[in-house]
Structure 1
Amino acid sequence: MVIPASSTEYVHVPVTAPAGRDLSGAPVKIAVVAHGDNPAEGEWHTAEWVDGKARLLVGPDGGAVTLTRGNYRVWITVDPPGVENLVRLAGSLTIS
C-alpha cells in the first residue's frame, strides 16, 4: 500500500482467526515501524475491528501516528481470551 504523507486515512489489516476462535471482541493493536525489529511496547496503537479487519487511522490530521516519507512494516497483535497473544507481521506500507 502507498499513502501520501499528507493523507490521513485508515490502514486496514485483514485477520484470519485460528480455527474455532472468534477474535472480533479481542483487543487489537497495530504498529507501523521503519525498523526491522519487532515493535517496542510504545510503538503499538489501539486499533478497532470493522468487518473482520483491524484498522488504524494514520496521518497528520488526527491519526494515531503521523508518518514521514519512507518504507514501513505493519504489525498486528491480538489478545484473545486464554493464554495466547498473537503477534504477526502484516505487510508493508510506503509513505510517499
Structure 2
Amino acid sequence: MLIPATSTEYVHIPITPPVGVDITGTPPKLAFLPVSSRGNPTVGDWQAGVWANGTEARLLVGPDGGAITLTAGDYRVYVSFDPPGSENIVRLSGYLSIT
C-alpha cells in the first residue's frame, strides 16, 4: 500500500481468525515499524484499532486526527488480536510506503 504523508486515511488489514472463533470481543492492535528495524513490535509500538466488517482490523493513520502520523519511508505493518483461549496472535500483515 502507498499513502502520501499528507493523507489521513484508514489502513485496513484483513484477518483470518481461527476456525469457529469470534475475534471481535477485544479490539485489534496495529504496529508500524520501519523496514530498517528488524525487531518485533514492543508494547509502546501498538496502536488500538477497531474491527470493520468483523474480520478486518483498521486504524486511522495521518496528520489530521490519525492515531499515528508516519513520516516518509517504508514500514512493516503488524496486527495483533487476542481471541478467546490461550492464543495471543501477532502477524506481519504487509508493508506500507509513505511518500
Structure 2: runs of 5+ lacking an equivalent: none
TM-score, with structure 1 as normaliser = 0.95
Tell me the number of residue pairs that the alignment of Structure 1 and Structure 2 aligns.
Answer: 96
Percent of pairs with identical residues: 56
d(CA) in 2 for partners of 1:91, 1:17: 17
Contact 2:21 2:84 in 1 (8 A): no
Matched residue, 1:38? 40
Which 4+ residue blocks in structure 1 deviate beyond 3 angstroms? none
Task: Please state how far the C-alpha of 1:37 moved relative to its aligned partner.
Answer: 1.4
Structure 1: runs of 5+ lacking an equivalent: none
Task: Please state how far the C-alpha of 1:28 moved relative to its aligned partner.
Answer: 1.0
Contact 1:14 1:53 in 2 (8 A): yes
TM-score, with structure 2 as normaliser = 0.92
Contact 1:10 1:57 in 2 (8 A): yes
Aligned pairs for 1:1-96 within 5 A? 1-34=1-34, 35-51=37-53, 52-96=55-99
